Amino acid sequence: MNIPLTPLRFLRYAEQQYPRRTAVVCNQESFTYAQFADRARRLAGALRQAGVQPGDRVAFLSTNCHRLLEAYYGVLEAGAVLLPLNIRLAASELSYILNDSGATILFVEKQFLALVESFRKDIPEVRTFCQLDGAPEAAWLSPRSYEALLQEATPYRADITSIDENSLAELFYTSGTSANPKGVMLTHRNIYLHALNVCLGFNIENGAVELHTIPLFHANGWGVAHFLTLLGGKHVMMQRFETKEIFRLIEKEGVHSFSLVPIMATALVNCPERPNYNLSSLRRIVIGGAASSPTLIRKVEEKLGCECFSGYGLTETSPSLSISPMKSGLHWDGEQRYVGQSMTGYAFPGVEIRVVDANDNDVPRDGQTMGEIIARSDGVMEGYWRQPDASAEALRGGWFHTGDMATLNEEGYLLIVDRKNDIIVSGGENISSLELEKAILAHPAVLEAGVIPVPDEKWGEVPKALVVLKPNAVATEPELIEFCRLHLAHYKCPRSFEFVVSLPKTGTGKILKKDLRKKYWHGRDTMRPDFAAPKRGN
């Protein structure tokens, strides 16, 4: 008999094999795997008693906490679909997602009650609102809190054999870096096989201790909710990114690994309190979400004393596609190792990756020719929620088209050059905004950088850099222009620099270049116009 592939099997295995092992640490609370599994089943029972039907979307507006982690199993146990919401979205964006998804119940943390109050009349399909932490504080909330629901519920355990592994399990909305966010449909099979592939790719040990630095509303916090449970590991939750809190938790809980976006990694290596903590338990840090640099990889390894390399994936791929540690048989010496580990990397087990031209033909594996990354894997989404045309376009030919432009070398390592929409076409030459940002970030005074195109009468468009300096650091525009010209061809370098206090970001730390382009294209749409620009000479 074939047993359906579903992540529910992960928690059941962990409960059977490690019932007394610590599963979750969240603030002052901790739960064993036996307790974690019981709470997930009670959540399933409470949902069914509340009238949630198979396939209903159950939304959570929550920071990283044990309750949201319980939902990854309890909602699916009830036969429903989990919808984690980005806590940094505006009211209009949240109401759009809730209406588009047709969610029927919303669990919300106390700190977001005022936000939900501002748009709850605009989401008529949501019939129940439940406060996650503490006693309900508004008349429109369910009279019972999350904890009361669990205490009063009869635990529910689904029949695993009755689950359709190709049915929808989780619904994640894209970050909305362009146009309205789209609902990414991940099936039970997607999630199950993705977790196995990540375990193999990372060679994760049984009982690993992982710090949840990435929000769980972001494609499972990069899959940790599932693979770590399968291995009976300890989930260490943190509600918001604070450097000293990360160091404290590493020391207290013996954290082995976690994931970061580049700006988080920069904050950790520059934190003056870092030497005050024992970080000897650390084994691995993976940087993803945006391009890293060899300099940052080297600093993380030197300052935090563990292996550091890059990872790559998308919401549509569950999310992991590639990692960049040195393959067995390769020999990277000195700085070459940091250059290699900052690349986009090679495919995880179970993943096929190609780099193709505009006609979907493979480009040469020369590390120079640019093309779009396309992939197929066990984790590639079923499609976009209620958007068949967008799904067909993204999945044409049986491959998911990522929209990321990259090169591929003879060893099978990708290097992302840019997003399609972020390539700057200046005088007929393609300029990578990521390449410029990496060069600018190598300057010792620079904390963050975002490069966008701005109009130019002669060349059509030229690069402009928006820069955030490190605290108490000083730099000038001519200094940064000259710094770039020492490392890059002159035609690539930004023509202007502007110093800003902060850069707009998504909930996962990516710079919102669409917002920057709106501003600097004088209020036009995020997609800049095409220019009949002259071709640059040699």
> What is the Cα–Cα distance from 515 to 521, expressed in whole angstroms?
10
CA 266 to chain centre: 17
Task: Compare 102 and 430 and report the one with higher pLDDT.
Answer: 102
Tokens of 43: 């959540």
Burial of 23 (0-12, 13-18, 19+ CB in 10 A): buried
Tokens of 453: 């195109």
pLDDT at residue 218, rounded to an integer: 83
**Identity of the amino acid at 338:** Y
pLDDT given at position 530: 34
Q: Give the mean pLDDT of the chain.
A: 92
As a whole number of Å, the end-to-end CA separation of the chain is 66
Mean pLDDT of 27-35: 98
User: In this structure, which amino acid lies at residue 456?
Assistant: D
Average pLDDT over residues 490-516: 87
- 41-61: per-residue pLDDT in tens? 999 999 999 999 999 999 999
Residue whose token pair is 């800003």:
500
383 and 321 Cβ atoms separated by less than 8 Å:
no
- The model's pLDDT over 3-24, given as tens digits with 9 standing for 90+, comes to 999 999 999 999 999 999 999 9
Amino acid present at 42: R
CA distance 89 to 284: 30
Percentage above 70 pLDDT, the chain: 95
Domain architecture of the chain: domains with CATH: 426-520 (3.30.300.30)
Token pair for 457: 């009468």
Predicted confidence band of residue 461 (pLDDT cuts 50, 70, 90): confident
Choose between 521 and 452: higher pLDDT: 452
- Cis before 319 (ω within 30): yes
Spatial contact of 478 and 465, defined as CB atoms under 8 Å apart: no
**63 alpha-carbon distance from chain centroid:** 14
Where would I find the beta strands (DSSP E) of 320-370?
320-323, 346-347, 351-356
- Residues 274-293 have a mean pLDDT of 92
Q: pLDDT tens digit string along 227-251?
A: 999 999 999 999 999 999 999 999 9
- Position 491 confidence tier, pLDDT thresholds 50, 70, 90: confident
CA angle 380, 383, 385 (to 5 degrees): 140
Residue 534 predicted with pLDDT over 60: no
CA distance 417 to 434: 6
Residue 537: predicted pLDDT: 42
Q: Tell which wins on pLDDT, 420 or 512.
A: 512
Rounded Cα distance, 70 and 225, in Å:
9
| DSSP per residue, 380-410 | S-SEETT-HHHHHHHTGGGSEEEEEEEEE-T
Query: Between the CA of residue 350 and those of 109, 326, 367, 426, what are the distances in Å?
Result: 37, 19, 23, 39
β-pairing verdict for 320-323 and 307-313: antiparallel
> 346: pLDDT confidence band, cut at 50, 70 and 90?
very high
pTM metric for this prediction:
0.86
The per-residue pLDDT for 527 is 40
User: At 384, is the pLDDT very low, low, confident or very high (cuts 50, 70, 90)?
Assistant: very high
Closest residue by Cα to residue 227 from 188, 259, 193: 193
What is the C-alpha separation between 193 and 378, in angstroms, rounded? 6
**Per-residue confidence (pLDDT) for residue 509, from 0 to 100:** 72
Sequence-separated (6 or more) residues with CB below 8 Å from residue 312: 288, 320, 321, 322, 323, 344, 345, 414, 416
Alpha carbon 160 to chain centroid, angstroms: 29
Task: Work out the pLDDT band at 69, boundaries 50, 70, 90.
Answer: very high
Q: Which residues of 54-84 are buried (b: 16+ CB within 10 A; e: fewer)?
A: eebbbbbbbbbbbbbbbbbbbbbbbbbbbbb
Residues 338, 225: Cα–Cα separation, whole Å: 29
More confident residue, 187 or 513: 187
In this structure, what is the dihedral angle of CA atoms 335, 338, 344, 348, given to the nearest 10 degrees? Answer: 120
- CB neighbour list of residue 519: distance below 8 Å, 6 or more residues apart: none
Q: Indicate whether 399 pLDDT > 60.
A: yes
On the question of pLDDT at 175 being above 80, the answer is no
pLDDT band of 533, cuts 50, 70, 90 = very low
Indicate the range of 236-245, 311-320, 499-508 predicted with least confidence: 499-508
DSSP class of residue 523 equals T
Instruction: Tell whether the model's pLDDT for residue 219 goes beyond 80.
Output: no
Give the phi and the psi of residue 398 in degrees, each rounded to 5: 80, 10
